[in-house]
Structure 1
Amino acid sequence: MAAPRRCPVMWDIMEEHLEEAAFLANQWQRACRSPDYCLHEVAQGPETRLRAHLDGLACAGPEAPERILMPWLESDRSEEVFVAALALLATGAPLDWVLPFFEDEPGPRRVAISRALSLARHEGIPGLLRSREFHAHPRLQAEAIRVLCLRGEALGSETLLPLLRSESSELKAAALKAVRDDTPTVRTLLESALGSQSPDVRIAAGQTALVLGYPAALQALRRPLDSTAPEAARALAVLAAAGQAEDVARMAAALAIPGLESAALWALGHSGWRHAAELCLEAMKHERTARLAGEAFSRVTGLRLEGDFARPSTLEEHGLPPFEEDDLDADLVPSPEATLPLPDAAAVARWWMKEKDRFPPKTRYLRGQPISPEGVWKALATEPMRGRGQLALDLAVQTQGAVRFDTCTWTKRQAEVLATGMASARQGRQRFTAR
């Protein structure tokens, strides 16, 4: 009997799938760091729609890679590169079709390819990356390690030891973040890295050492940093996960440094201490820091900034500007911070005067409840997307690396992992990577 005839592919429809997927990829990535979305809203909204269009592209057959996907890999728009790479990998195409773009110069295209490689289900990715990465440029090796870690791949000590001795700060920092096993040799290299002159290496070592429970980690993270360097913000975030009350003073000092206010408020909110909430209360009085301070205060105390505790934004008060006064070159997409509620500092202060006695100063809080691994686990399912990565770091520190949760994978997968609970993962302090 003759084989059934295959219906012709409607290439105009496939092009529409690709264009819609690129648009939705942009929406999805914004939602994944937004204060206005939680996990199930991303999973049921932009992610479901994005993956539906990717599934549609998978129906295009063997001609799709060459006809529509490969050309998009050379696009200047990162979201187009991202969806083209994901769709191409879903067809089972050889990785050699994608990897030349991964090996390209650093920039948006490589970032998009890396993101696709970290999410794609392609059996060849782990092995092929490992076989190629260790013969490449150190910067490419570092990127490959980051991809493997995002995929939840375990890089053993045998693989990491040569990289931990690298002269490249970027490669050494990436390898330090990938460490999971606390062996004597790794411990020696990790403790040496804690004294590195490179802030990137020192902070990466500090974060890993903190998760593994090394006492020396805090000393390295507390070393002074150039206040204008991005490393300072990262150090503050890791110190927040450490949860030491004495570090609130360092965060308060950073709050007075121009350029570090946002990082300081972020750290104060995640530190969970009563004194941190009071510092945020003061920062609410200043227009420049009011939204971020309100977010941080709410994270500690659980107060919802709505109704009497919020005030209208400038746009809500005055509406849109006249057409002739509108800046047509302005970025029309607000930053995640711009969508945060604007607190009424006086109303919040009155609330705090009534409620502060139920916050003992020697307890850490998350949304008004004492912080615990179980509480953080539950919060990963309900908290806004913005800040969940910090919660995952906090969870890893609290469990000394026994529980690691990946907030960068597909949200549907995250929801499935969260639904299983963490009790079994913590029995016997078993290593558990939730991805």
Structure 2
Amino acid sequence: MIIAAIVTQHAEEAAFLWLLRSNATRQPHYALKDLAKLDGRVEAHVDGLRVAGEPGWELCKAALGNEEAGEVFAASVMAFESGIESRIQAILEAVEKTPELSKGLISAFGWMPFQQAAPHAQRLLVAELPLQRLVGLAAYAVHRQDPGAALKDALSSTDPELRARALKAAGELGKTTFIPAMKAEFAAEDLACRYWAGWSGALLGEPAAIPVLQRLAERGHTKREQACAMALRRMSIDQAQAWLKSLANSPKALRLAMQAAGVIGDPANIPWLIQQMANPAMARVAGESFTYITGIDLAYDDLDTDKPESFEAGPTENPEDENVDMDPDEDLPWPNPQLIEKWWFTHRVQFTNGTRYLCGQPMTIESLNQVLRTGKQRQRTTAAIELAMRQPGTPLFNCSAPGFRQQALLK
């Protein structure tokens, strides 16, 4: 017997937990085991909807009216796993009406095994609407599977969103043969195309991508942090340190500079990072970069402290406060500069200036693979990119894939 209240709970929880896991893939305190545990909860509720059958689908379909990506994710899994055409059309119509909901549909394709997703993705690759082709292309890309001629076609599309996704996919899939197509977009009028051309170009080893990404970072592109990081990874230590110094001299770019120190991984920057920890606005991001280099967990190793009483970040209860942005460092510990300085005085002999470190180890294939297995999500994403750069032509490991699938791949 189907109990409506329980099925409703499955639908609501599947959507809500998907939103949590979507955010968790980019958060500093989630390890792979944590993501896999959360994904297990998502799957349990999705499975409850499967068991419910038609009543489960009807609840998911009704929830599409909320126009939220989590609801689209749950409904999309139900629709495309069933293969029922009316269900599939309901999803496609909802996404076409509100294109930003496509992220929920793409995530659903990533949730399904590729063998199950592939026939639907292939059909979308040849659809008339550019948005549907984009979804089909993304479905292949999140599984790191080659979509064939559809990728080349999308790279020359007149639709900028489809072209941007194709540029990203070419990098994710390690398609070095498409570097000329990326270079052709380095001066694209569409900033998303320019960014993904630069990002993929840098990932695949194209030196001309570096200044493209630098300019995007310095001019405040919405992905300025990612652009900065990718450019730094392709620079020599001397080049990277020179750019870091330039960023640090600009008050508007100080946060970017501290993140850059963690990306570069040179322990020569640690004394400066410790100094910055005295500034409440910058303390936690400086602490994260310290952790990137040394591998020290500030909270676990008792090198953290309480939040300063006078510090406020993100929205306040004041109705006249126009700042509605969430605190970007909410999940980072507050570093204790005095304790960290003592730790560094004792342990600095273990580190060599001019060498790039991640999580306390010089960056090598072996150490990066270890971080991919045991690091936190942001660290794992860094390790995956560094590994792809050292192994040209290989797909980028997807640190946002379902945790249980990642664990199986990393055994």
Q: TM-score range by the shorter chain?
A: 0.7 to 0.9
SS in 1 for 2:35: helix
**Within 5 A, what are the aligned runs for 1:26-425?**
26-44=19-37, 46-65=38-57, 67-94=58-85, 95-107=88-100, 109-121=101-113, 125-138=117-130, 141-156=133-148, 158-179=149-170, 180-183=174-177, 186-196=178-188, 198-223=190-215, 226-242=218-234, 244-245=236-237, 246-257=239-250, 260-306=253-299, 309-314=303-308, 327=317, 335=327, 337-402=329-394, 404-419=396-411
Partner Cα separation in structure 1 for residue 398 and residue 281 of structure 2: 32
Alpha carbons of 1:203 and 1:29: their partners in 2 closer, same or farther (altered >3 Å)?
closer
Which 5+ residue runs of structure 2 have no aligned equivalent?
none
* Greater alpha carbon shift after TM alignment, 371-380 vs 384-393: 384-393
Distance change >3 Å, CA 238–CA 12, structure 1 → 2: same
Shift of 1:328: 9.4
Is 2:202–2:231's contact at 8 Å kept on the other side of the alignment?
Answer: no
The CA distance in 2 between the partners of 1:132 and 1:191, in whole Å, is: 27
Preserved CA contact (<8 Å) 2:216 2:227: no
- Give 1:105's aligned amino acid: T
Query: In the comparison of the two structures, how many residue pairs are matched?
Result: 398
SS in 2 for 1:386: helix
CA–CA separation in structure 1 for the residues paired with 2:82 and 2:130: 30
RMSD of equivalent CA atoms: 3.2
Contact kept? 1:233, 1:264, Cα under 8 Å: no
Distance 1:68 1:221, change over 3 A: closer
Deviation at 1:258, TM superposition (A): 5.3
Aligned mates of 1:114, 1:259 — CA distance in 2: 35
Letter in 2 for 1:204: W
Quick one: distance in 2 between partners of 1:31 and 1:181? 28
Q: Could you tell me which runs of 5 or more consecutive residues in structure 1 were left unpaired when the two chains were aligned.
A: 1-7, 319-325, 420-435
* Structure-2 residue corresponding to 1:433: none
Distance 1:173 1:16, change over 3 A: closer
Distance apart, 1:98 and its partner CA:
1.9
Q: Give, in whole Å, the separation in 2 of the partners of 1:395 and 1:122.
A: 24
Identical aligned residues as a percent = 25
1:121 offset after TM fit, Å? 4.0
Secondary structure of 2:352's aligned partner = coil
Distance 1:262 1:150, change over 3 A: farther
Q: Following the alignment from structure 1 to structure 2, what is the Cα–Cα distance between the partners of residues 74 and 283? A: 47
Q: Could you list the per-position Cα deviations for residues 351-375 of structure 1 after superposition, in whole angstroms to 9, with x for gaps in the alignment?
A: 3334334322221101221111221
Q: CA deviation at 1:310?
A: 1.7
Distance 1:410 1:248 in 2: 36
Measured at CA, do residues 303 and 16 of structure 1 come closer, stay the same or move farther in structure 2, by a change above 3 Å?
closer
* Amino acid corresponding to residue 155 of structure 2 in structure 1: L
Which residue number in structure 2 is paired with residue 10 of structure 1? 3
Q: CA deviation at 1:255?
A: 4.1
CA distance in 1, matches of 2:122, 2:276: 47
Equivalent position SS for 1:208 = helix
Greater mean alpha carbon deviation, residues 246-255 or residues 281-290:
246-255
Residue 69 and residue 223 in structure 1: after superposition, are their counterparts in 2 closer, same or farther (change >3 A)? closer
